[in-house]
Structure 1
Amino acid sequence: MRVGGNLVADDRDGKVKSAPEKSKGLSRKRKRRKKKAVRAVQRLFETCKQVFAEGGPGVIPSPENVDRLRSLLDTLKPDDVGLSPNSPYFQNFGIDGPPPVTYLHLYDCPNFSIGIFCLPQAAAIPLHNHPSMTVFSKILLGSMHIKSYDWVNDPQSSNVKIKSSSGACLAKVNTDAVFTAPHRTSVLYPTTGGNLHCFTAVTSCAVLDVLGPPYSDDEGRTCMYYKEYAFSSFPGDATLALGKNEEHAWLEESGSKPHDLVVRRAEYRGPRILEP
């Protein structure tokens, strides 16, 4: 039994002897991994502070800052944030309907937030938007299907969406594919890059999101969910000069969070962020 430091008790005579060299080596490796993880999370926080220092609704970081934060997230690994495929968030909960999603909160301030969504196999986060936000999404482990859209605006008025007779708005597919960790961090912008997206866990998976700025009901950045209809659902409501019909869909606000979406908040147990 370990009693502290590099000492263990001898079960035969109660004397204390030095731990085997192998145990010492493992202990040093664990310490190095822990220090590396602490540095990685703290560096992420410091970089976000700088990247979003002049941020605000609809403000996109400079291309240099986007590349800087993206490159840093690309190096992030599950154990840097205390995750592994054996983490309890990925277990089969044995319930009817989609498994619950677990959210681990790392940090938030008026300029940005950092959090991790953990999805057991077959769990899903339905189609939703990110109003006036720039979002960095890094798949930490597992495989997930991502489908994303951008709004299609009226050619005669770039700020007006094309609507169907029922009020649904036209959107074009940006991404529709399965991504497996490690994969390059994806970035979506206020009006491009797949601002509306949904996640479905092909295997148990985790994705770290950096939102700049974060959601805020008080400031009009409320998360909206959408129902998706095939383009052919409203024939004659829009004429597409370019592209194929299957690249488009009609999206209609669902009005509230889907009843079968369960998001549980759990304590983040990875390295803590230290503020000055």
Structure 2
Amino acid sequence: MSQISPIQALYDQCKKACTPVGIPPSSPVIQNLCSLMDKTSPADVGLREDNSDDDRCHGFLGHNSDDNFDMIARWDQSIKYLELHENESFTMCIFRMPKSTVMPLHDHPGMTVLSKLLYGSLNVKAYDWVEPACIQNSRGPGYRPVKLAKLVVDHVRNASSGTSVLYPKSGGNIHCFSAVTTCAAFDILTPSYREAAGSTCTFYLEYPYSSFPIADGASIIDGKEEDYAWLEVIDTPNSLCMLWGEYKGFTIKV
């Protein structure tokens, strides 16, 4: 009997445990998935660190598609999203980021996300909302309100780092990535994004805590001021350029 592949084992676990409303944070399946993902290598998902052609994606997703630019250079500097599998309960995918590219600050509403860096180095900066919610609405006409968030992590991960997990309300659900070197991350998201149901990715702009003083001079921070930021909802950044494809490097038995 042939040995089951690591990706097939992960798919089988997700199929059993994930539902259209996600997976309970206390579920032991999360640790099982982390253990399997920790052992996943680039070769397990058909990637080679030294060959971007292994991305094997097609199509283009971006907001500057009508601009005049060098398509070869654009391809080289684009973040590649490779879909391994998606249904309403979970998504398995790979993000490949060229050196110095940035995935802007964004969230995963109501979702649990497991992420394992397959190769390279990636700086992760992540926030969670302060509870109870603290919102500043008095910025003047034409300005959106800002909401207070607390820093969870701001560090560099590499291939030796264990699988990270974020939950709907903890673990750094609002985060941005900066590629220190060319890198690739293998992610499992549950449940999947569902735009028809209003489950969409939201982008944010961050401001230092001191930018918007609390009324009456009250302080609600616990710890260092630099561990807090005001976040403003913004439109999808024009600078974000992603190539979207379905990966063809192997087959998952569904």
Is the Cα contact below 8 Å between 1:90 and 1:121 reproduced in 2? no
Residue 129 of structure 1 is matched in structure 2 by 107
Matched, 1:39 2:5: yes
Length-normalised TM-score, structure 2: 0.84
Measure how far apart 1:220 and its partner are: 1.6
Matched, 1:271 2:235: no
What is the alpha-carbon distance in structure 1 between the residues aligned to residue 233 and residue 53 of structure 2? Answer: 30
2:48 partner amino acid: S
Residue 245 of structure 1 is matched in structure 2 by 225
1:53-92 deviation digits (Å, cap 9, x = unpaired)? xx3436525331111111111110001001111122699x
2:120 to 116, 126, 142: 142
| Bigger Rg, structure 1 or 2 | 1
What is the alpha-carbon distance in structure 2 between the residues aligned to residue 185 and residue 259 of structure 1? Answer: 30
What is the alpha-carbon distance in structure 2 between the residues aligned to residue 94 and residue 195 of structure 1? Answer: 33
Equivalences for 1:93-172 in 2 at 5 Å? 95=73, 99-154=77-132, 161-164=133-136, 165-166=138-139, 167-172=145-150
Matched, 1:229 2:207: yes
Aligned pair count? 230
Aligned residue for 2:12, secondary structure, equals helix
1:218-259 deviation digits (Å, cap 9, x = unpaired)? 1121100000101111122562252111000000000x2110
Measure how far apart 1:182 and its partner are: 2.3
Is the Cα contact below 8 Å between 1:130 and 1:223 reproduced in 2? yes
CA 1:59–1:266 in 2, change beyond 3 Å: closer, same or farther?
closer
Q: After TM superposition, where is structure 1 displaced by more than 6 Å over at least 4 residues in a row?
A: none
Residue 3 of structure 1 is matched in structure 2 by none
- Tell which has more relative contact order, 1 or 2 (C-alpha 8 A, sep 6+): 2
What is the alpha-carbon distance in structure 1 between the residues aligned to residue 129 and residue 8 of structure 2? Answer: 36
CA 1:241–1:199 in 2, change beyond 3 Å: closer, same or farther?
closer
What is the alpha-carbon distance in structure 1 between the residues aligned to residue 72 and residue 35 of structure 2? Answer: 38
Measure how far apart 1:174 and its partner are: 0.5
Is the Cα contact below 8 Å between 1:51 and 1:61 reproduced in 2? no
Aligned residue for 2:196, secondary structure, equals coil
Percent identical residues: 41
2:237 partner amino acid: P
Measure how far apart 1:269 and its partner are: 3.3
Aligned residue for 1:68, secondary structure, equals helix
Residue 76 of structure 1 is matched in structure 2 by 40
Measure how far apart 1:94 and its partner are: 6.8
Residue 209 of structure 1 is matched in structure 2 by 187
Measure how far apart 1:267 and its partner are: 4.0
What is the alpha-carbon distance in structure 1 between the residues aligned to residue 158 and residue 199 of structure 2? Answer: 30
What is the alpha-carbon distance in structure 2 between the residues aligned to residue 250 and residue 241 of structure 1? Answer: 12
Residue 50 of structure 1 is matched in structure 2 by 16
2:17 partner amino acid: V
Mark the runs of 5 or more structure 2 residues left unpaired by the alignment.
56-70, 140-144
CA 1:128–1:89 in 2, change beyond 3 Å: closer, same or farther?
farther
CA 1:95–1:221 in 2, change beyond 3 Å: closer, same or farther?
same
CA 1:46–1:90 in 2, change beyond 3 Å: closer, same or farther?
closer
Residue 58 of structure 2 is matched in structure 1 by none
CA 1:58–1:249 in 2, change beyond 3 Å: closer, same or farther?
farther
What is the alpha-carbon distance in structure 2 between the residues aligned to residue 223 and residue 65 of structure 1? Answer: 25
CA 1:184–1:162 in 2, change beyond 3 Å: closer, same or farther?
same
What is the alpha-carbon distance in structure 2 between the residues aligned to residue 239 and residue 57 of structure 1? Answer: 36
CA 1:90–1:174 in 2, change beyond 3 Å: closer, same or farther?
farther
What is the alpha-carbon distance in structure 1 between the residues aligned to residue 53 and residue 229 of structure 2? Answer: 33
Length-normalised TM-score, structure 1: 0.78
